[in-house]
């Protein structure tokens, strides 16, 4: 293998009994049993037990005596069978141990801030990530990340995709986030943005005749960090020419299945089911529903148009969901608080406690309303009456909250879904201006090309991939016509001059023979986190940032000396 070792710790089994081996790794634990010293030696492949017997090997025994956790050791000796009572059935190497004849300390360790694999605070783990990485969990996750990417690369290659490197430093691409800016010393006062995605470059590759592009692309977005967000992340980014939506979805399903197979997992069944955006918002209150549990939202708008309960009768939309529990008054109070935080004015309810109805609103409801809305015994109907968007947001949020509280999401099913038929535009909440839902390069649905007349009702050829409530990625068929692209910019309130300044190069390219094209991008770290069953991206990324935006390991970000800033033409306020 090498001059340092001729096998690895985790590889040794009863079949190796009688052979002489040299292994190297970290001292996981050391136990001094009055004479005999036991060291569990660990490397990437697993652990093996070393036994040092001072009677046979006085010098190694002396060395072993001074060994502490995480010292790096090299040990040579014979593989022997353990005594039957010492066999450890939980360890793959549990039937054997190495009778040490030579032992060397290759490197020492100061006392550790935590023991490897201990469940300590994430910030501490990240500060000492090199220690944390030695844990089984991080070894497993980083290797899974690798296996998934390797499998995806093979699949993309098999399908004829060309890996093209696109610039990180570019003019901003609008993906709905803030840009990270890079000051340019050669041109003080000017900035590149770190690419939020390779979006425009991959479209230019299609106009450039490349036909099928892909990249495991790093993207940068200045957003608040959450469980499923990091400033920088990698995505499987792809683009294809002369395709329809079906072709893109097919390639993505192929890539997902390849990743599962590569990781030795049962792949999800294809084709992945689809759901329209409007139906998703109505039934689940979100465009990334978790389908592992029911709790579907029901509509009561029609039913309550002439309700005796004014709150229902006067609200534009009335919807409810039924939780399989008869909640107590206190529980309902807490749920109402949550609903209010999300923008509801209140939370009405009907509790069916073993056949007995508890509700302050029941007396206002007519018989037909009660008959239709009354939940089954042992459950509670929760109502929100408001504008449609508020109702969706609140009930969608409550649905997730309840599923968590009632442990409804704990199934092992790998459920992938496509969400399709998104609107092309939505109103910006702050400015009231029409803005894109996906990005401004998304094509309208065939039939909706006249979107300028009525932007709010046009649908787009945008699609999202969802896995158990996580949005894995998005894509669309793009606009390949300069006129149409300009119409989208106009709807967004962008005049000719601004269009030219921001996207002149794209408009030029679209005027010089642009093929129909479309593509997709899937967040690899999100995908791997889900696959690993981890709650957040930090567990599958080697060196992530924490919520404050800091990197506990290096201590970044840091201020820069004035001299450096001066070169860049920057003065701090």
Residues contributing to the site for ligand ASP (CB under 6 A): 175, 197, 199, 474-476, 519-521
Our CB check for ligand ASP shows the closer of 277 and 520 to be: 520
Structure tokens at 199: 């979006």
The minimum distance between CB 519 and ligand ASP, in angstroms, equals: 4
Q: How far is CA 156 from the centre of its chain?
A: 21
Our CB check for ligand ASP shows the closer of 26 and 520 to be: 520
- Check: CB of residue 244 under 8 Å from CB of residue 478: no
The minimum distance between CB 217 and ligand ASP, in angstroms, equals: 8
Q: Name the helix (H) or strand (E) containing 483.
A: helix 482-491
Which residue stretches of 118-275 are H helix? 122-127, 129-132, 136-158, 199-207, 245-262
402 phi, psi to nearest 5 deg: -65, -40
CA 14, 20, 24, 28 torsion: positive or negative? Answer: positive
Our CB check for ligand ASP shows the closer of 197 and 374 to be: 197
Our CB check for ligand ASP shows the closer of 220 and 293 to be: 220
- C-alpha 322/C-alpha 383 separation (Å) is 9
Asked, as a colleague might, if the bond just before 33 is cis with ω within 30 of 0, I would say no
The minimum distance between CB 457 and ligand ASP, in angstroms, equals: 22
Our CB check for ligand ASP shows the closer of 25 and 518 to be: 518
Query: Which residues have C-beta within 8 Å of that of residue 23, sequence separation ≥ 6?
Result: 5, 7, 8, 9, 12, 41, 43, 48, 74, 75, 98
Our CB check for ligand ASP shows the closer of 226 and 345 to be: 226
368 phi, psi to nearest 5 deg: -65, -35
R_g (Cα) of the chain, nearest Å: 30
> Token match 């406690």: residue?
353
The minimum distance between CB 491 and ligand ASP, in angstroms, equals: 19
**Nearest residue relative to ligand ASP (C-beta):** 197
Helix axes 136-158, 524-531, angle to 10 degrees: 130
Our CB check for ligand ASP shows the closer of 320 and 436 to be: 436
The minimum distance between CB 521 and ligand ASP, in angstroms, equals: 4
The minimum distance between CB 164 and ligand ASP, in angstroms, equals: 14
The minimum distance between CB 476 and ligand ASP, in angstroms, equals: 5
The minimum distance between CB 464 and ligand ASP, in angstroms, equals: 9
C-alpha distances (whole Å) from 213 to each of 87, 198, 203, 207, 250 are: 54, 11, 9, 11, 15
CB atoms under 10 Å from CB of 286, counted, come to 21
Our CB check for ligand ASP shows the closer of 86 and 162 to be: 162
Our CB check for ligand ASP shows the closer of 394 and 521 to be: 521
Burial of 529 (0-12, 13-18, 19+ CB in 10 A): buried
C-alpha distances (whole Å) from 323 to each of 144, 320, 367, 401, 512 are: 37, 10, 22, 11, 57
- C-alpha 338/C-alpha 317 separation (Å) is 19
The minimum distance between CB 224 and ligand ASP, in angstroms, equals: 17
The minimum distance between CB 239 and ligand ASP, in angstroms, equals: 7
Our CB check for ligand ASP shows the closer of 317 and 476 to be: 476
- C-alpha 498/C-alpha 64 separation (Å) is 72
């Amino acid at each position: 293998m090498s001059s340092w070792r001729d096998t690895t710790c985790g590889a040794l089994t009863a079949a190796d009994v009688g052979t002489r081996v040299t292994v190297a790794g970290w001292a996981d634990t050391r136990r001094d049993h009055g004479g005999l010293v036991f060291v569990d030696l660990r490397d990437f492949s697993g652990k093996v037990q070393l036994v040092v017997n001072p009677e046979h090997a006085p010098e190694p025994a002396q060395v072993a005596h001074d060994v502490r956790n995480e010292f790096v050791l090299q040990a040579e000796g014979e593989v022997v069978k353990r005594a039957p009572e010492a066999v450890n059935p939980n360890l793959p190497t549990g039937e054997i141990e190495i009778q040490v004849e030579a032992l060397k300390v290759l490197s020492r360790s100061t006392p550790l801030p935590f023991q490897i694999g201990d469940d300590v605070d994430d910030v501490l783990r990240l500060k000492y990530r090199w220690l944390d990485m030695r844990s089984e969990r991080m070894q497993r996750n980083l290797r899974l990340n690798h296996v998934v990417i390797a499998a995806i690369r093979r699949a993309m290659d098999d399908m004829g995709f060309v890996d093209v490197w696109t610039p990180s430093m570019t003019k901003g691409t609008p993906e709905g986030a803030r840009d990270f800016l890079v000051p340019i010393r050669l041109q003080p006062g000017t900035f590149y943005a770190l690419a939020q995605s390779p979006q425009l470059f991959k479209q230019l590759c299609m106009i450039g005749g490349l036909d099928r592009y892909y990249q495991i692309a790093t993207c940068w977005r200045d957003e608040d960090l959450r469980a499923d967000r990091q400033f920088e992340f990698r995505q499987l980014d792809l683009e294809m020419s002369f395709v329809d939506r079906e072709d893109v979805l097919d390639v993505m399903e192929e890539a997902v299945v390849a990743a599962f197979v590569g990781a030795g997992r049962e792949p999800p069944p294809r084709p992945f089911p689809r759901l329209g955006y409007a139906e998703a918002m109505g039934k689940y209150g979100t465009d990334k529903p978790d389908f592992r549990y029911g709790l579907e939202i029901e509509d009561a708008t029609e039913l309550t148009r002439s309700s005796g309960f004014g709150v229902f009768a006067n609200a534009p939309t009335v919807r409810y969901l039924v939780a399989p529990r008869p909640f107590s008054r206190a529980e309902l109070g807490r749920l109402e608080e949550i609903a209010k935080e999300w923008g509801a004015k209140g939370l009405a309810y009907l509790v069916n406690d073993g056949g007995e109805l508890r509700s302050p609103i029941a007396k206002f409801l007519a018989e037909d309303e009660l008959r239709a809305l009354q939940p089954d015994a042992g459950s509670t109907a929760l109502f929100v009456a408001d504008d449609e968007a508020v109702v969706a947001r609140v009930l969608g949020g409550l649905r997730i909250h309840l599923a968590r509280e009632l442990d409804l999401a704990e199934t092992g099913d790998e459920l992938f879904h496509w969400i399709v038929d998104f609107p092309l535009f939505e109103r910006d909440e702050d400015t009231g201006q029409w803005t894109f839902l996906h990005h401004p390069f998304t094509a309208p649905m065939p039939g909706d090309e006249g979107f300028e007349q009525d932007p709010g009702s046009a649908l787009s050829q945008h699609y999202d991939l969802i896995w158990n409530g996580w949005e894995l990625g998005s894509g669309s068929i793009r606009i390949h016509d300069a006129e149409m692209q300009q119409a989208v910019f106009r709807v967004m309130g962008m005049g000719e001059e601004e269009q030219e300044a921001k996207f002149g190069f794209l408009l030029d390219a679209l005027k010089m023979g642009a093929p129909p094209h479309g593509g997709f991008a899937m967040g690899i770290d999100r995908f791997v986190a889900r696959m690993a069953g981890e709650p957040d991206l930090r567990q599958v990324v080697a060196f992530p940032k924490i919520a404050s935006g800091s990197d506990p390991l290096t201590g970044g970000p840091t201020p820069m000396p004035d001299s450096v800033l001066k070169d860049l033409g920057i003065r701090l306020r």
